[in-house]
Structure 1
Amino acid sequence: MSERPDAPSVISLLVSLLSISLMSVLFGRKTSGTSMANINYARGLVISLYVVSWLFTTIAAVLTSTNTGNIMSCTLSIFVCLSLYAASKIIIYLFLIEKVYVVSSVTTTRKDTMLYRFNILLLTPYTVILVLMILNHVAVLDENDQCFIGLKPLASIVLILYDIFISCWLTVLFIRPLMSSTSVLQGPSKGKLRQVARRTLIGSVIALILSSGNVFTLVYYRGYEDSVLCLLSCTLDVTLNACTVHWVTSRGSRNNTTTDKASRGITNQNTNQINGTLTEKQVAPTDTHISVTVESYMEH
């Protein structure tokens, strides 16, 4: 039985360890000084993404060092990629859908917003695609006991087409209000709302590029990719996506935020709402309402 060259495994393990540390830091920053009662839906999605990314990178590090000559570890590698990677993508899509709701709907709740419900409906095909990926997975050992994993062409092509479609659709939904002269983003008092839209637009484009590159790799190798390289590319994908989401939800400056709050005359009661009690938009299309709502999605 031949040994796998050390370099790819060492690089993959180092990347996994760095990703684990980075996810731990981001998780700590997002939850520092925050109680469970103060975690709203948007922040909950971000924290869930950190947890899923941390789990993926941790398990990937273990599997990278054990799947040579081990068919069980080799098979687990592809199923971990399918389950946790798919979970991270669903969370990112839910996050982007939530941001679309924030920048496009002011006077309605989520359940009463047709666009929000339609976007959620667009996620349902992912369950079918996940089943298709499970049925068309590849996990084999070659004559040198080296593990190769991936997806057969049918599953990988369907996955990449779906990823491109939904990412492009969500990207358009951010471009439209930014360019429209009649959208809720327009006006001198809507700077914070425009900032949310611009940052999330950039995040959506980055997510599209990362996922497309990752799945194109599967297509290139025709479903038989070295497990170390596959786990490495997926680790980089989920880590960079998590970092992008963290940037999207981070404020530029604590001082600027304080100044903005003072200029808008937000009361202590409104500030308490920002810290956790505001989970749904109220039917009140005023500038103060919009500012308070957006503040709940732009976190330190």
Structure 2
Amino acid sequence: MPQRPDVPAIISLLVSLMAISLMSVLFGRKTSGTNMSSINYARGLVISLYMVSWGFTTIAAVLTSTNPGNMTSCALSIFVCISLYAASKIIIYLFLIEKVYVVSSVTTTRKDTLLYRVNILLLTPYTVILVLMVLNRVAVLDEKDECIIGLKPLASIFLILYDIFVSSWLTILFIRPLMSTNSVLQGPSKGKLRQVARRTLIGSIVALVLSSGNVFTLVYYGGYEDSVLCLLSCTLDVTLNAVTVHWVTSRARGSQPTDKASRGVTNQNNNNNTTNHNTSNEKKMSPSDTHISVTVESYTD
């Protein structure tokens, strides 16, 4: 009697293949025409996220097809979920912390910004969470030789509480300057910076929803989830997070051409007064405005 096709495994493989292709496109989009030696910290985080997400989805596709009846592959699945998934979350947190610094403390260096140091310190408990996940991992074959992986309640509960706390805290840090009338985002010259804050606020909310939904699924299954479903949900999580981060760091449609066009018109109309015009602008532009302009441009395509 012919064996029935495993529909969930087929769906998982198709999703993984699409995610691999998407990560490749985003990686090419972000690095096209860029000198790799001149990539700044922010863009380096984004590119690292693409690479980790690509690695996770590629390995997940292989493991999905080899897990049934294979204890070695089953054990590798949970280790991949723990290591690469955790790496992607850390990169996203570092990215959001960097954006908080950009929209709140652009006139000081990172090491001199108390909020930045506090946010970095908040990431240290993740090492404890990582140890708990390793010690409380689940990787077994059931009576049908199907691979079951997951985390025991102790690790999954701590993980979801930590994710909710950190994501909520970073979300609040983006809401605060947007709502305050005295923040660095206010003023007619801070339009780009406000756009960065709004986009990143949406990105942090998406990260919170995706992480919560993924871990809640694990809790729902009591820490014992079919490896196909677990790898599929984690693949969707890291991929959608990477897409969100790509959107956050992309220019608004039409902004670049408009800027170029306006610069061209300005240069043409003021060709005979270039020196006086530049001198006047230098006098009017404060150091913080210059820093904001350079910083915001380094965060977009």
TM-score calculated relative to the size of structure 2: 0.90
Distance 1:140 1:260, change over 3 A: farther
* SS of match in other structure, 2:247: helix
Deviation at 1:290, TM superposition (A): 1.4
- Residue 296 of structure 2 corresponds to 294
Report the AA paired with residue 87 of structure 1.
A
Distance 1:184 1:20, change over 3 A: same
- Residue 111 of structure 2 corresponds to 111
Deviation at 1:289, TM superposition (A): 2.8
Identity of aligned residues (%): 81
Larger radius of gyration between Structure 1 and Structure 2: 2
* SS of match in other structure, 2:193: helix
Alpha-carbon distance between aligned partners in 2 of 1:257 and 1:145, rounded to the nearest angstrom: 60
TM-score calculated relative to the size of structure 1: 0.90
Deviation at 1:33, TM superposition (A): 0.6
Alpha carbons 1:133, 1:156 under 8 Å: kept:
yes
Q: Encode CA deviations 1:192-241: one digit per residue, 9 max, x unaligned.
A: 00000000000000000000000000100011100000000000000000
More helix per residue: 1 or 2? 2
Q: Encode CA deviations 1:156-198: one digit per residue, 9 max, x unaligned.
A: 0000000000000000000000000000000011000000000
- Residue 158 of structure 2 corresponds to 158
Alpha carbons 1:42, 1:95 under 8 Å: kept:
yes
The 5 Å alignment of 1:80-229 reads: 80-229=80-229
Deviation at 1:262, TM superposition (A): 6.9
1:21 partnered with 2:21: yes
Deviation at 1:285, TM superposition (A): 3.6
Alpha-carbon distance between aligned partners in 2 of 1:170 and 1:68, rounded to the nearest angstrom: 40
- Residue 278 of structure 1 corresponds to none
Deviation at 1:292, TM superposition (A): 1.9
Report the AA paired with residue 299 of structure 2.
Y
Alpha carbons 2:149, 2:224 under 8 Å: kept:
yes
Pairwise CA RMSD: 1.8
The 5 Å alignment of 1:17-96 reads: 17-96=17-96
Deviation at 1:68, TM superposition (A): 0.1
Alpha-carbon distance between aligned partners in 2 of 1:160 and 1:230, rounded to the nearest angstrom: 16
Distance 1:136 1:261, change over 3 A: farther
Alpha-carbon distance between aligned partners in 1 of 2:161 and 2:186, rounded to the nearest angstrom: 33
- Residue 258 of structure 2 corresponds to 256
* SS of match in other structure, 1:190: helix
Alpha carbons 1:4, 1:68 under 8 Å: kept:
no
Deviation at 1:141, TM superposition (A): 0.3
Runs of 4+ in 1 over 4 A off after TM superposition: 2-5, 259-265
Alpha carbons 2:107, 2:291 under 8 Å: kept:
no
